[in-house]
Amino acid sequence: MNANLGWGQHHIWLRYHELPPDARHNTHIILNLEIPPGLTVQNCRAILNQTVRRHETLRTTYHFDHDGDPYRVVRPPGPCPLVVLSAEDDGTAMPAEVVERLGAAEFDIASEWPIRVVVITTEGVPRQAVVVLNHLAVDMWTVTELKREMWAGCAGVVARRPTAIEPVRHRPSDLVRHEASLDPAPALAYWEKEIEAMPADGFGDRRRPGPPVETLRASLISPALLGAAQRIAARHRVWPSQVHLAAYTALMAAYTGGPSFDHLTFTGNRESGPYSQVLTCLFSPMLMRVDVRDDPPFAELLARVADRFEQAREHAYVPYDAVVELLARKGTRLASEFNFIKQPTLESRARRSRVTWHPAADAYGTDTYVRVDQWRDSVVVALHAASSVMDGDAVERFLRALETTILTYDATPGDLRTSDIAALAGFAPAPPPGRPHDVPTIPEQGAVEALAAAVSQANGLAGVDPARNYADAGGRVLRIPRVLALLRDLGWAGVTLHQLTGVTPLSTLAGQLLQPGVRS
């Protein structure tokens, strides 16, 4: 069965294709689950097979091999992808190595089901399961439901009684049909008004000339942040995620020098429509704009963040690609994201906070990405930043200042203002404006024609004006992976998904297209 993607899958679809292959593990959700006593490996296999049989999202592949929109294919039921490993030193691969490999390897979304499971045994008895899920298929609500259902199956086997599981009433394909009947125009009008108030580039004063060389990556593990954020949230009757979001907003506004820091954050859409119980990926990015120009106290900033979050959430149920196209048509760059994920099955066992640096990755277009993971015993804050907007010193100062801000406000809930938070960070001042040294590259012979032809074919357009950007020329953002595939078929490479979602004219982007072996 073939169907279009659901609206809640649009962002992850684009994120997956934007990331380089060695970074696509950032679209994974990993669960560490204790297996209750009394189960055999065969029991575990049967429960997993029943779960993928019931839920088509776990046996769905994703494709863009035809012109037009990407689509999903629901595969027939079959055995769940499962690896069984022994924790004992018996000459076989150690579980940690295999789990690391399966967790880091990208999913081949066109052929591979979006689930991998490792069952770890001791003396033949299953003790632990590690489940790797592709975010394109599930959100955190779906993960919670899958865990509840599998746990019920385990309890039934142990008690030697049938498991009562509610029937699946609606499937992702039902949701897609429902979304096809909706009119997103009223909600998009809200986003269009928000976009009109945004600066063209939030990192304008910090952006170094030239393309970013790499993406810097670091993370902070903090046991103390877990309780501090929860206490502040309880005191102010907000979510812990909004405590972190307020600190993030103050720090990024301090770093960029703007009256606000415009970025994307995320919300579920489980309250919208009659298909809220469908197991799939059903969340939306939201544009967040919080004014801090009057140097508000942290309590006031937190109230503004919570209020703006609710305003944005009311208009969040839209196809994300339409928002990206609005940004391109308005000439606005928005390439920063904040994400908060609760993962109570994971723990760090850390006793004190520490910053860990990870190998830099290839630059892929995003300016900054902050992910806050709330684990069982700590909070993990990861920051990925393009080297064109933040250096290593700024990255580390941001991570440490976010922790210090929340811990300080928890201990002394006084008038901690945005200016005080900026002082805690101690960011170096923005450098004086540099002279742009991006010299437009003269396109290779045939490059403009090849790019226009690929855009035209993928989008079913009679003609394409290369003087316009991709969206202005009539291109649909969801179809960019198809455009890039068509270019590869024609022997061209060098343009990225992120560049095509932006404001640069196609004729300029064509200057980056190369034919391998012709010019390096």
Asked whether residue 233 carries a pLDDT value surpassing 80, the answer given is yes
Helix (H, G, I), strand (E, B) or coil at 439: coil
What one-character DSSP code corresponds to residue 56? Answer: G
Residue 174: both structure tokens together: 């039902």
Lowest mean pLDDT among 209-213, 222-226, 351-355, 453-457: 209-213
- Exposed, middle or buried, 505 (CB in 10 Å: 0-12/13-18/19+)? middle
Q: Which is more confidently placed, 437 or 374?
A: 374
Say which CATH class 2-175 falls into: alpha beta
- The string of pLDDT tens digits covering residues 276-314 is 899 999 988 999 999 999 999 999 999 999 999 999 999
Task: Please write down the long-range contacts of 180-189, taking CB distance under 8 Å and 24 or more positions apart.
Answer: 180/4, 182/273, 182/317, 184/317, 184/318, 184/319, 184/322, 186/315, 187/315, 187/316, 187/317, 187/318, 188/318, 188/322, 188/323, 188/326
Parallel, antiparallel or unpaired: strands 368-375 and 263-268 = unpaired
pLDDT for position 20: 85
Is-contact 61 72, C-beta < 8 A? yes
User: pLDDT above 70 covers what percent of the chain?
Assistant: 97
Average pLDDT, the chain: 92
**If we measure between CA atoms, which residue out of 478, 489, 477, 501 comes closest to residue 453?**
489
Q: Do the domains spanning 2-175 and 447-512 agree at the CATH topology level?
A: no
Length of the chain: 520
Most confident of 357-366, 401-410, 440-449: 401-410
CB atoms < 10 A from the CB of 170, how many? Answer: 15
Asked whether residue 160 carries a pLDDT value surpassing 60, the answer given is yes
pLDDT for position 517: 47
Is-contact 26 11, C-beta < 8 A? no
Cα separation, 216 vs 233, whole angstroms = 30
Asked whether residue 474 carries a pLDDT value surpassing 80, the answer given is yes
pLDDT for position 243: 98
Cα separation, 487 vs 248, whole angstroms = 39
- The string of pLDDT tens digits covering residues 365-409 is 789 999 999 999 999 999 999 999 999 999 999 999 999 999 999
Lowest mean pLDDT among 118-127, 209-218, 458-467: 209-218
Most confident of 22-36, 257-271, 366-380: 366-380
pLDDT for position 305: 97
| 182-425: CATH, from 1.10.3720.10, 1.10.8.50, 3.30.559.30, 3.30.70.270 | 3.30.559.30
Mean pLDDT, residues 413-442: 82
pLDDT for position 88: 84
**If we measure between CA atoms, which residue out of 379, 368, 423 comes closest to residue 243?**
379
- Give the helix ranges, DSSP H, for 331-436: 392-411, 418-425
Locate tokens 């859409």: which residue?
A: 269
pLDDT bin (cut points 50, 70, 90) of residue 270 is confident
Q: For the chain, which residues make up each domain, given as ranges?
A: 2-175, 182-425, 447-512
Is-contact 285 265, C-beta < 8 A? yes
Q: Which is more confidently placed, 513 or 71?
A: 71
Question: 447-512: CATH homologous superfamily?
Answer: ACP-like (1.10.1200.10)
Cα separation, 415 vs 403, whole angstroms = 17
Alpha carbon of residue 21 to chain centroid = 15
N- to C-terminal Cα distance for the chain?
43
Locate tokens 């394909």: which residue?
A: 173
Mean pLDDT, residues 245-260: 95
Asked whether residue 437 carries a pLDDT value surpassing 60, the answer given is no
Residue 310: both structure tokens together: 């609710």
Asked whether residue 442 carries a pLDDT value surpassing 50, the answer given is yes
pLDDT for position 434: 63
Cα separation, 143 vs 155, whole angstroms = 18
pLDDT bin (cut points 50, 70, 90) of residue 267 is confident
- Give the helix ranges, DSSP H, for 257-336: 298-314, 320-330
Q: Which is more confidently placed, 434 or 157?
A: 157
Residue 4: both structure tokens together: 């279009």
Looking at residue 146, its amino acid is L
Q: Which residues contact 459 (CB under 8 A, 6 or more apart)?
A: 67, 474, 475, 476, 479, 483
Residue 170: both structure tokens together: 């609606």
Edge-first strand order for the sheet with 71-74 is: 2-4, 71-74, 60-63
Mean pLDDT, residues 73-94: 90
Mean pLDDT, residues 425-431: 92
- Give the helix ranges, DSSP H, for 78-159: 95-104, 140-159
Cα separation, 286 vs 316, whole angstroms = 6
DSSP, residue by residue, 202-213: TTTTTPPSS---
Asked whether residue 520 carries a pLDDT value surpassing 50, the answer given is no
Mean pLDDT, residues 218-236: 98
Mean pLDDT, residues 415-443: 82
User: pLDDT above 90 covers what percent of the chain?
Assistant: 78
Beta-bridge partners for 369: 337, 384
pLDDT for position 439: 54
